[in-house]
Chains A and B, each alone.
Chain A
Amino acid sequence: MLLEVTGLHVRYGRTHAVKAVDLHVAEGEIVTVLGANGAGKTSLLRALHGAVKPAGGSIRFAGDDLTAQSSAERVTRGMMLVPEGRQIFVSMSVHENLLMGAYLRRDGDWARDLKSVYDRFPNLAERRDMPASVLSGGEQQMLAIGRALVSRPRLVMLDEPSLGLSPLFVNNLFNLIKELNRDGISILLVEQNTAMALEVASRGYVLELGSLVLEGGADALAGNAALAEAYLGDHAAKPEPDAA
């Protein structure tokens, strides 16, 4: 098992954001975590990546217990998080943002990975030396994903990547996720766009108020009317316009 999470808790003072979550991702899988606003999806991913200290539970990656390790240790071992809201560095150029993805790379191959990111995203190659702040919302998401790819991850965790993108970009994004997966990268995808997420994923989990309330095959979840009604609201049907 690539990622194996047992009994994970996240607390912020009195807020108990993630409660006893068990979850796993096998090598080569696309797994989605669904849930309404405030369900604890971001808290879950941040805890998995070491950006927030879990209040309990364990996180194993490729057989090693990384629960108490730093984010840097996780990155070195092949975990990468594409955070909510993209979090690109607007004071840096497009190229420098991508170099940040290679920050911990000590092997000589990172330049090749950088080149393959530029090949994959020609828009970024054209804007290589421009400040990242001039990119459109869709391009910024490509940059955030490209930056993650330069670290040569085995598992990429994406936190609501479709948020704020136009329908066309949303389509491209989900195609990209499938493509990355075909290239051998395992994906843990947090989304509110339930329909699209369940289309690309093979399995899914549903979080409600910090607890897992449903899990199963993507097809089964997609056909679960109770899921759409009770836990997810109807944001999924209405993607917001592209921020740019």
Chain B
Amino acid sequence: MLFLQQVSNGIMLGSVYVTVAVAFTLTIGVLNFLNFTIPTLFMLAGMLAWALSTWGVPTWGVPFVHIGPMPWQAALLFAVAATVVASLLVERFTFRFLKTRYGDATEHAIPLVSSLGFLLIIENLVRIGYGTDTQRFPGPQADMSVNIGGIFLRVPQLVSLVIVLGIVAGLNWILRHSRIGRGLRAIAENPDAANILGVQANKLVPVVFMLTGLLCGLAGVLFAINYGEVSPQMGDDIGSKAIAGMVLGGLGSIWGAVIGGLIIGLTEMLTIHFFGADTVQVAVWGLLLLTLFLRPQGLFGHHSIGKGKL
């Protein structure tokens, strides 16, 4: 029974990894760009959800713009919206200015390093604003739970799992069947041919960042609800585990990121159950390396990912 409880906890943790991993894999799949701001956006959403629901946003004395505090439901919505805006700002300043429109002068290192710069800036701004302590998020807590055959499933966790799977399925549908999705896939495979047919990367790249912000915002607030606490460091571990999940599932594959994220979450919880917390990192990263030895492209990956250059 305890084992099943851990499986259920693993799936819940995994669904947070899944959401962040899908954000990573989308940006890599379409733009061939490892967006380092993703863990920060995740953290930003969590911290804003907490801050808005407890004491608002610091405005450093600027009059008339004091925001908050507000009910936790409203705080969640604002936090997700703010994260989407932040992600679009990142697009402006990492990707757009540094991308050369004609020719092939885009160096991968430039967006990569500038996104790393953003990670540090946002993280430190949050620390300046709110300090480095772990904070309690006053959302719906563990008392809302259902007991199914002795396993406690918290309602918010269940709801968030459903939301995550719904969003991922929707995203997958958009990529497969919509005009925008085809445009994104065309850019991913062959930016030059896409441009010749009239696909404008300048219009579609912000869509990717918007989706990234949405996914990270969602993951951040889900984390806050499910675990009841947030901190400026919360993105660090989640970010690296999400990358592990994405690589495990195969770069650029949405369902790969889903499966990979869930596997990482389960591995983590079951390792804790059987061997204790100290062995978690060894188990997770060991599993990843083993998978890569056996299947370098990951479970659902294609060899072509990373060839296109925007």
A residues in contact (CB < 8 Å) with B: 12, 49, 51-53, 70-72, 74-76, 81, 83, 87-92, 96, 99-101, 103-104, 147, 151
Q: How far is the CB of A190 from chain B (nearest CB, A)?
A: 14
B196 touching A49, Cβ below 8 Å: yes
* Residue on A nearest B202 in the bound complex, by CB: A70
Q: Which of B253-309 contact A (CB under 8 A)?
A: 302, 304
How many chain B residues sit at the interface, stated as a range, is: 20 to 34
Main secondary structure of the interface of B (DSSP, over half): helix
Q: Does B146 contact A (CB under 8 A)?
A: no
Q: How far is the CB of B254 from chain A (nearest CB, A)?
A: 14
B residues in contact (CB < 8 Å) with A: 101-103, 179, 182-183, 185-186, 188-190, 192-200, 302, 304
B185 contact from A83, A91, A104, A147, Cβ within 8 A = A91
A-B contact pairs, 15 of them (CB 8 A): A51-B102, A51-B195, A52-B103, A53-B102, A75-B198, A76-B198, A89-B190, A91-B185, A91-B188, A91-B304, A92-B182, A99-B179, A103-B179, A103-B199, A151-B198
A51 touching B182, Cβ below 8 Å: no
B200 touching A100, Cβ below 8 Å: no
A151 touching B197, Cβ below 8 Å: yes
Q: How far is the CA of A33 from the CA of B102 in the complex (A)?
A: 24
- For the complex of A and B, list the 6 residue pairs with the smallest distance between their C-beta atoms, beginning with the closest: A75-B198, A87-B193, A72-B198, A104-B198, A53-B102, A91-B189
A83 touching B193, Cβ below 8 Å: yes
* Residue on A nearest B308 in the bound complex, by CB: A91
A89 contact from B103, B185, B195, B198, Cβ within 8 A = B185
Residues of B contacting A91 in the complex (Cβ-Cβ under 8 angstroms): 185, 188-189, 302, 304
Q: How far is the CA of A151 from the CA of B197 in the complex (A)?
A: 8
Q: How far is the CA of A87 from the CA of B182 in the complex (A)?
A: 15
B103 touching A101, Cβ below 8 Å: no
A71 touching B102, Cβ below 8 Å: no
* Residue on B nearest A104 in the bound complex, by CB: B198
* Residue on B nearest A101 in the bound complex, by CB: B197
A75 touching B197, Cβ below 8 Å: yes
Give the residue among B194, B198, B200 with the most A Cβ atoms within 10 A. B198
